[in-house]
Chains A and B, each alone.
Chain A
Amino acid sequence: MGRTSIDEAKKGSAEILILALLDEREATGRHGYEIGQLIETRTNGTLRFTLTSLYSTLYRLEDRGWIRGRWVEKAGTRRRRYYRITDLGRRMLAAQREEWSRFFVALDQAASLGIKA
């Protein structure tokens, strides 16, 4: 696998991770910093976003209508932009989850046949 493919895969996985994180808390949503932190901790640092890559991804998802951002001001804290998953985003998440699980099944089968992925 070339480097670009890995980048693509990372990009794709970043998207599904963001959707999954927002799906976990669909009522209130999460802000950008929280999303970045959660991805980093949950992947044990394998996936780390730069500021640009994090917000570019968020804006891209928002462009596609999968998530929606909204400025929220809570008492005593700074105003933050909270992102929430949309109906469409939820559907995309489901589809991607299925695709990924199929991919993993395929990988497992390939591995059991002795083919190195």
Chain B
Amino acid sequence: MTNWHQLVEDHAKRTGQADLPSATVAELAAHLEDLYAAARADGTSDADARQLALDALAEAPLADLARRARRRPDSRPGATAPEPASSLWTGLVGEFRHALRQMKRAPSFAAIAVVTLGLGAGAATAIFSIVDAVLLRPLPFHEPDRLVTIWDANPERSLPRERISPVNFMDYRTIAAFDDAAAWWRPEVNLAEPDKDPVRVDTIETSANLFHMLGVSPQLGSGFPIEDTLHNRERMAIISDRFWRQQYDADPAIVGKTINAMDGPPYTIVGVMPPGFHFPDEVDLWLRLQWDLTRHSRAAHFMEGVARLKRGVDADAAARELSALTSRLATDYAATNAGWTAHLTPLLDDMLGYYRPALIVLMGAVAVLLLTACINVASLLLARAGARGREMAIRAALGASRGRLVRQMLVESLLLAAGGTLAGAIGAMAILNIALASMPVAIPRMANAGLDVRLLAFAALVTAGTAILFGLVPALIVSRTRAAEALKESGRSSTSARSRVWNRALVVAEVALASMALVASALLVQSVARMMESPIGIVPDGVVTTDLQMEVRAGVEGWNVIEQQYANLLESLRRQPGVESAGLTNALPLTIGWRLAFGIVGRIAPSHDEQVQAMFVSAGDGYFETMGARLVAGRLFDARDRHDTEPVMIINETMARRFFGDSDPIGQQISSLARQVGPLGRNLAGPVPHRVIGIIADIQQAPIGQAAEPVVYHTTRQFPFAAMAIAMRGPDASRLADAVRAAVKETNPTLALGDIETMEARLKDAAAEPRLLMFVLTAFAILTGLLAALGVYGLLAWVVNERRRELAIRLALGAKPAGLARLVTGQGLVLSIAGVAIGLVAAQALGGVLDDVLFQTRTSDPGAAFTAGALLVTAALAACAAPAIRAARVEPSEGLRD
């Protein structure tokens, strides 16, 4: 028996290839043995057959073979399976190399997957970080969960949230559910230090117990002393850390010094609050309440209040007790309290206002985006699973164990997930920084938002989970199918068909999610547009406004001085170049005036009956002309109406309709009963009848969306305020700003001007919050829509590739290329329309979430649904284009390959 193995080794040694790998030696030996055996079987003699084999060996120069053989993986003959017996570590390194090679082979796949995962994780993390900072972190007060704000409401008059009246507050304060309650109002305060420019300061005059109740102490000084009464005539002030630094250079000896306000004697500073404390919103100056809350009016709703619930008492129980009290008050003081209720809101919800529902909606949008991103990656991975499945089958056939295949796919998925997480972290930081830097409106507590690593980990977990789950599909397909089968079916396998069904379902889901997001954003766009279009009774183009405050002097003569100063200012202003008209008011459009009871001489006796109440606004001559308000009947104020002539009024159309009916209001007389309503002006001291001289079309004074109210306009000459707003009209806004500065300089250089703003900007500000939500939501919706379109594209591109052969055969059988393109486009269209339909139905079902952020827009609005559907179908059609073109360009010969 010949030792062929030995023969080959000897030959190798002789020809200088002693290191020929033993696997090759074994292979050659087997070959020679076969050669010998075949010759013997043909009847060749043993010696000849042996010589034949030896000749074959001799003519083989082994050098080239040895070089190639040494490069082969299984150069050791012992291993029956080609798996190198490697350590886990070197195995993993190999898998990573393989995975990287796979990614390089399909870079666009890897890029799309990483960007999609990053987008989803990044946006989710950024928004969650903001939501966490704004909504979820507790307020920096002692046991903030027990703090509630108190608001009055009058459902009958559709006033859902009104300030409280001081006398009612003193009753509310006594209910058992409260530990304590504090109230404040917002006076206009100008500080006038002798050697400094006058400054306007955001100020509240508050009951002395506020800080104690919140559980926050000043960083300097002892604050307001706790006394039996909530007020004290001794003037005391607390300032914010910001104000202390800006105005007093952080003077450590500030406590005990005084602040000079224009409204009277100086205030003694008794405290500096810690940095960041500006309760209730952006306040820098807290004055101690100087007057008795009980000695005011139950009808005057101008105060805000906060209460601390007793420990263990929940807000509902407190609300029930308060409700019992308000119904008692409504009976006992029917004239002022009938129809009025009060309600409690958790302090945090109240501070957030519109942003709470907005952030919840936004979080929903982010969840939709994250889900879409996950579905997208899942469908991408599934689409590849068909191709990868065949590769896996081959590897399995070559002896790779199931475990090894799963490990390989796991490593590939992990690599994708890691890339996605990295992209997500970068994306989250970018989005967060952009959001913080470019936020056009102040969202409470938002400045505290920082990238939260836990949240990033959460988002990364979700996306990585998706990548891993769906990345394993090819390996699982192989585990379930016999390798040979997978190889034989090669691309037309049942597994491929199965994953195609799944893939379609995923794409439909994606489109459905995107259409939900688009419906929501379309609704918001519509809502904001409606807000901007809603009639407010003026022509805002070309109007610029600002506000200022004159120094208050005691007595009637003081008011005459103020009136004269304003008259001088206006006269100077109207002379400035670029000014067409100018006028004064104490309440610009979208600003609420004083709501007061009144009587109509000869028809309605003046009383405190709440039902006969109107908003009182002071507006000077020139104001209505400047605002472009429409005079319905009678005349506007002019120079004839002075403090020493007959008191006059202009009423709005709602007032005329509601209280005069068919009779002509012009010439009739209205009197107001208001007393003690602050620095209101001399003519309100008693029920002085005012003659109605004109009717003006309604100007919206309440926030956009609230029903029109009866409004009475006095002339500023008869009803002056120290703090007034100036409205000017002219062709050029910047010249108007210069004009008002020049007029102030000319007539009263010590006056502090407020912000100079166009009326249009003010109107935009009124819709700033929904507008912001609209922009962010639209951005998310567009992203989601793009992802969905990408999903449609991915699916179709894959289908066209898979069905190349079928398309080629159709072409060979006479189909037109355009027909093939239509076929593919039709498929994409059917899927997107199905997705849109499901999405629109789901949007209807879930639309209630949006109710709190929409203005005069219903979630069932067909326009929004149509817009969203049309946009998505268009995007899907665009996504069909490339695969359709590819289908039309299939060569008939492609059907013959493979």
Contacts and interface: CB of A to CB of B under 8 A. Distances in A.
Nearest to B391: A87
A50 B394 contact: no
Interface stretch (B79-87, B468-476, B585-593): B79-87
B497 interface: no
A26 B31 CA distance: 21
Contact of B68 (A32, A51, A63, A69): A63
A100 to B, nearest CB: 14
B59 A94 contact: no
Interface in B78-112: 79-82
A63 B68 CA distance: 8
B57 interface: yes
Interface residues of A, number: 34
Contacts of B398: 68, 70, 84
A36 to B, nearest CB: 8
A107 interface: no
Contact of A98 (B27, B38, B59, B893): B893
Nearest to A26: B487
B893 A59 contact: no
Interface stretch (B69-77, B122-130, B508-516): B69-77
Contacts of B457: none
Contact of A59 (B31, B35, B72, B898): B72
Contacts of B64: 52, 56
Contact of A51 (B31, B80, B484, B897): B31
Interface stretch (A4-12, A14-22, A71-79): A71-79
Given A68-B398, A87-B391, A50 B487 contact: no
Contacts of A63: 68, 71-72
B484 A27 contact: yes
B28 A55 contact: yes
Given A52-B64, A69-B74, A98-B893, A78 B31 contact: no
B18 interface: no
B81 A56 contact: no
A55 B80 contact: no
B390 interface: yes
Given A51-B59, A52-B60, A70-B81, A94 B898 contact: yes
Provide the main secondary structure of the chain B interface. helix
Nearest to B56: A51
Contact of A32 (B31, B71, B82, B898): B31
Interface string A36-80: 110000000000001110011001101100001111110000111
Contact of B69 (A59, A72, A87): A59
Contacts of A52: 60-62, 64-65
Interface residues of B, number: 41
Nearest to B27: A81
Contacts of B61: 52
B236 to A, nearest CB: 86
Nearest to B393: A87
Contacts of B81: 70-71
In this complex, the member of B57, B65, B82 whose beta carbon has the largest number of chain A beta carbons within 10 angstroms is B65
Contacts of B399: 70
Contacts of B27: 32, 55, 80-81
B79 A50 contact: no
Nearest to B80: A71
Nearest to A27: B484
A79 B76 CA distance: 13
Contacts of A50: 56, 59-60
A98 to B, nearest CB: 7
B224 to A, nearest CB: 83
B23 to A, nearest CB: 7
B487 A72 contact: no
B33 interface: yes
Interface in A79-100: 79-81, 84, 86-87, 90-91, 94, 98
A60 B391 contact: no
Contact of B487 (A27, A59, A60, A98): A27
B57 A51 contact: yes
Nearest to A54: B31
B26 interface: yes
Contacts of A32: 27, 30-31
A87 B394 contact: yes
A56 B65 contact: yes
A72 B74 CA distance: 13
B34 interface: yes
B24 interface: yes
A33 interface: yes
A70 B64 CA distance: 21
Interface string B248-261: 00000000000000
Across chains A and B, which 3 residue pairs bring their CB atoms closest together, nearest first? A51-B60, A33-B34, A59-B68
Interface of B: 23-24, 26-28, 30-31, 33-35, 38, 56-57, 59-62, 64-65, 68-69, 71-72, 74, 77, 79-82, 390-391, 394, 397-399, 484, 487-488, 893, 897-898
Given A27-B487, A71-B82, 20 more contacts: A26-B487, A32-B27, A33-B31, A33-B34, A33-B35, A51-B28, A51-B57, A52-B62, A52-B65, A55-B68, A56-B64, A56-B68, A59-B65, A60-B68, A69-B74, A69-B82, A70-B74, A80-B27, A87-B390, A98-B893
22 contacts: A27-B488, A32-B31, A33-B34, A34-B34, A37-B38, A50-B59, A52-B61, A52-B62, A55-B27, A55-B28, A55-B31, A56-B65, A70-B399, A71-B23, A71-B79, A71-B82, A79-B30, A79-B80, A80-B30, A84-B398, A86-B394, A98-B893
Interface of A: 26-27, 31-34, 36-37, 50-52, 55-56, 59-60, 62-63, 68-73, 78-81, 84, 86-87, 90-91, 94, 98
